Structure 1
Amino acid sequence: MTEQSTLEPLWTDRLELGEGIRQVAGRIVLTDILAGRLLAAPGDPSGALEVLAELPEPLGAVAPVAGRDGHWIAAAGTGVALLGPDGGTEWLARPVEGGEVRRRMNDGTADPQGRFWAGSMAYDAVPNAGALFRVDHDGSVHRVLEGITVPNGPAFTADGTALYLADSARGVIRRYPVDPESGELGAPEVFVTVGEGSPDGMAVDADGALWCAVWGAGAVHRYLPDGSLDRVLAVPASQPAGVCLGGDDGRCLYVTSARTGLASPGPLDGAVFTARVGTPGLAVAAYQPR
């Protein structure tokens, strides 16, 4: 298997805050969070991303809904919603609406058991204002963690017994044991502390290694299950934000980036990048409603 040492840009789009990237039914999908857009890869690698949905509020991340083609569960605005292919939106809950601190939902994913997990944060990253929520099969939304500043990831091991969650503002990735039946979290351990930049979007590969976009450092890191740093890939954009492994054989690494907050964005800031890697990724889990 030939690996690439550099990441190459894809498509013509330059996103404000590209994140939530994953491969669903053979197609790459991602979000432009602050623009509220759900996007999909075009057939032409030199073309523009296709807009699948557009909301009047931020759209952090989605997961497909099992057995419902074109339907998504989404971390959006101040809560969690179901999105239909016709543009319809059904809100399950808005747990971060109101209060003294203005907050929004951020990154999220489904676990192998079919629950959906998503984090929230303050718009101005107020310390400890973030939280992590779990959406069960019956659509109920539960606050499972508090005291986080900017939660990112989350990412699960193949069997769903461990959760990786980044607290980006603190530069820390923690690993939590998970009861796969109930979804209850155990006591966390610090998996890794990132010295330069902030850990952001993450994905686990078939060897159990964790890929992590490092915001502000122009890099993607791969960590082995023991927390040791295995490799670093340079990204030609200063703010990598999300990662996934896909392609026909699961060995294409895709990386999103952001232009937001940059005084003078470069020509590749906000682009999506790709490179070939040796270890395939895991299949994307779907949310499974009861």
Structure 2
Amino acid sequence: MSLVSTYAPLLMRCGQSAAALRWDARSGAWRWLDPVTGLLYTLAADGDCALPLRLQEHAGVMAMCSSGRVLLGQGKRLGMAELPTGVVPARPLQAQVLATIDPAEPRTAMSDGATDRHGYFVFGSANIAADRRPIGSFYQYSQRYGLRRLALPTVATACGIAFSRDGTQMYFSDATLGAIMRCRYDAERARVGEVQLFAQGGIGGGALLVDACDQVWSTQGPALCQHDAGGAVRQMIVIGDQVLAGAAAGGMQLDQLLLIGGDGGVFRVSPQVSGVDFAGLADTPFEDAYAEAQALRAGAAR
């Protein structure tokens, strides 16, 4: 393992916490949620000041959509909202509900999610009750197939969901155990199999991302770790003593890393400057045009 200690000065501090950090290629900006204050932040690729947008309901899970809208996980409801293109609106952003997750179980809420390579949204839930029993599940949602549960082991807190470059492998973890798991994944049939341990992560959960070389990166405490194909750590980026809550590739060439600490500290790492061996892989936006296309076809058939 090669330890790379990268000093990155604090770019800014936003809010009290961070979740669901994503690069929005359409707008050329990073976006992330503060589930404590109910804000959605936007930071331009070369910016040094994040703009906040207030949400009608606090959210902790997010994905960018192919239309430019945003998919939000708000407690037990999955919804979609239009993002403003000009002046920040005076009213909080309200999401249109698409699905309610496990409505008969009051102890669970959505905890993490990511789009697969087909543009379907895969997410997990957490037990938010005091008992912390492993009753959380994993799901796939698409406008083509609706909500489908994935046959994966139950967890206390689902986190760290990511997909291989070709989309046939899914990575996930349980924040209470720390182990990063890998399984076979079939997006069209929403089927999984061959679940196995990939690497030991950090207790408390963290973010996962897959780079252009199909290698997995995980946040573990104050470090962002790069794993090889067998799960062993190849290099680490350690920034201060903050616990990292999010990490995402971005920039116009996908050659930057944005790291956000659990207390809202924001750091931007440029591999060209730091010497870190990194090339980003773009997220596939959530495909939200299927319903509109079906409606147009139905109208034309009348």
Q: TM-score by structure 1 length?
A: 0.84
Is 2:283 the partner of 1:288? no
Contact 1:18 1:30 in 2 (8 A): yes
Of 38, 41, 59 in structure 2, the residue corresponding to residue 39 of structure 1 is 41
Give, as a single letter, the amino acid of the residue that structure 1 aligns with 2:285: A
Any unmatched runs of 5+ in structure 1?
Answer: 260-269
Contact 2:57 2:94 in 1 (8 A): no
Give, as a single letter, the amino acid of the residue that structure 2 aligns with 1:37: L
Matches within 5 A, 1:77-88: 77-85=75-83, 87-88=93-94
Deviation of residue 40 (structure 1)?
Answer: 0.5
Q: Deviations over 1:237-284 (max 9, x none)?
A: 43211111112321211112213xxxxxxxxxx212121233211112
Q: What residue number does 1:65 align with?
A: 65
For residues 4 and 202 of structure 1, the distance between their equivalents in structure 2, rounded to whole angstroms, comes to 20
Give, as a single letter, the amino acid of the residue that structure 2 aligns with 1:157: S
Q: For the structure 1 residues 200 and 43, does the alpha-carbon distance in structure 2 shift closer, same or farther, using more than 3 Å as the test?
A: closer
Contact 1:12 1:46 in 2 (8 A): no
Matches within 5 A, 1:245-256: 245-256=249-260
Is 2:172 the partner of 1:153? no
Is 2:107 the partner of 1:107? no
Q: What residue number does 2:128 align with?
A: 123
Q: What residue number does 2:177 align with?
A: 170
Contact 2:45 2:252 in 1 (8 A): no
Q: What residue number does 2:230 align with?
A: 226
For residues 11 and 37 of structure 1, the distance between their equivalents in structure 2, rounded to whole angstroms, comes to 16
Q: For the structure 1 residues 164 and 250, does the alpha-carbon distance in structure 2 shift closer, same or farther, using more than 3 Å as the test?
A: same
For residues 4 and 232 of structure 1, the distance between their equivalents in structure 2, rounded to whole angstroms, comes to 7
For residues 56 and 89 of structure 1, the distance between their equivalents in structure 2, rounded to whole angstroms, comes to 8
Any unmatched runs of 5+ in structure 2?
Answer: 85-92, 272-276, 291-302
Q: What residue number does 2:294 align with?
A: none
Contact 1:76 1:106 in 2 (8 A): no
Q: What residue number does 2:89 align with?
A: none
**Residue-pair matches, total:** 269
Q: For the structure 1 residues 272 and 98, does the alpha-carbon distance in structure 2 shift closer, same or farther, using more than 3 Å as the test?
A: farther
Matches within 5 A, 1:179-194: 179-194=186-201
For residues 78 and 219 of structure 2, the distance between their equivalents in structure 1, rounded to whole angstroms, comes to 24
Q: What residue number does 1:265 align with?
A: none
Is 2:262 the partner of 1:258? yes
Give, as a single letter, the amino acid of the residue that structure 2 aligns with 1:105: M
* Bigger Cα Rg: 2
For residues 142 and 97 of structure 2, the distance between their equivalents in structure 1, rounded to whole angstroms, comes to 14
For residues 125 and 214 of structure 2, the distance between their equivalents in structure 1, rounded to whole angstroms, comes to 26
Runs of 4+ with >3 A deviation = 42-46, 96-100, 196-199
- Point out the more displaced range, 204-213 or 134-143: 134-143
Q: What residue number does 2:96 align with?
A: 90
For residues 223 and 246 of structure 1, the distance between their equivalents in structure 2, rounded to whole angstroms, comes to 20
Q: What residue number does 1:74 align with?
A: 72
For residues 90 and 146 of structure 1, the distance between their equivalents in structure 2, rounded to whole angstroms, comes to 30
For residues 128 and 142 of structure 1, the distance between their equivalents in structure 2, rounded to whole angstroms, comes to 19
Give, as a single letter, the amino acid of the residue that structure 1 aligns with 2:258: Y
Contact 1:4 1:276 in 2 (8 A): no
Q: TM-score by structure 2 length?
A: 0.81
For the aligned residues, what is the CA RMSD?
A: 2.2
Q: Deviations over 1:58-93 (max 9, x none)?
A: x12222221x22x11122221211112363421111
Deviation of residue 211 (structure 1)?
Answer: 1.1
Give, as a single letter, the amino acid of the residue that structure 2 aligns with 1:190: L
